[in-house]
Chains A and B, each alone.
Chain A
Amino acid sequence: NAGVTQTPKFQVLKTGQSMTLQCAQDMNHEYMSWYRQDPGMGLRLIHYSVGAGITDQGEVPNGYNVSRSTTEDFPLRLLSAAPSQTSVYFCASSYGRQRTAKSSYNEQFFGPGTRLTVL
């Protein structure tokens, strides 16, 4: 299994450009999510999905769109990049429901991240 994969690993954009960050998982996980990580602020949830065709907003959704047409893929779209979106973006996946109280099946698996700079 490849686990959670993300592309690209690095990206530089100019203000106003749009782009899509790709995320895929091969573990048949129902739940997928996108986080951004900024210095001193930890990981913040952007959008998440509990299954194909279902998405919802997290803590910081403005300026981002997502879709979930398949179980495997969960792309994140930046509509019009701004310098405030310079960050490291992580995609994560997990099973959609709690298995047991003591099982590590509840963990979220993270992709390697995309480092985005907006000039």
Chain B
Amino acid sequence: GQNIDQPTEMTATEGAIVQINCTYQTSGFNGLFWYQQHAGEAPTFLSYNVLDGLEEKGRFSSFLSRSKGYSYLLLKELQMKDSASYLCAVQVSGSARQLTFGSGTQLTVLP
């Protein structure tokens, strides 16, 4: 089976940097996704990692270590609008594009 763990809640201050960790144990691996979900809305794509290393996209970066089954999402220069749930999802190799999601990390940005 698949197991994906991420912290339930995190709090940070506007302008700061926050790192959201995700660990996974899956039978095969074909990529890891991070999604952002504001309350009452649909998840929206943030990043995709399939190779080890760091992917940077503006204020958001995502890191992957396949050997350790570990990823993190780094958010810089936090803004109030970054308050949302951040979902880590793994795509298992051989699967027809299915994603297995973690339970999400609720980030609250304080002024």
Contact = CB atoms under 8 A, between A and B. Distances in A.
Interface in A68-119: 90, 94, 96, 98, 101-104, 106-113
A4 to B, nearest CB: 8
A13 to B, nearest CB: 20
Contact of B96 (A48, A90, A102, A112): A48
A119 B103 CA distance: 26
A106 B48 contact: yes
Interface of B: 8, 30-31, 33, 41-45, 48, 50-51, 55, 87, 89, 91, 96-104
B42 A111 contact: yes
B42 A113 contact: yes
A33 interface: yes
A53 interface: no
A52 interface: no
Nearest to B35: A110
A50 B48 contact: no
Contact of B102 (A31, A42, A112): A42
B44 A104 contact: no
B97 A41 contact: no
A108 B100 CA distance: 12
Given A90-B43, A107-B33, A111-B42, A45 B87 contact: no
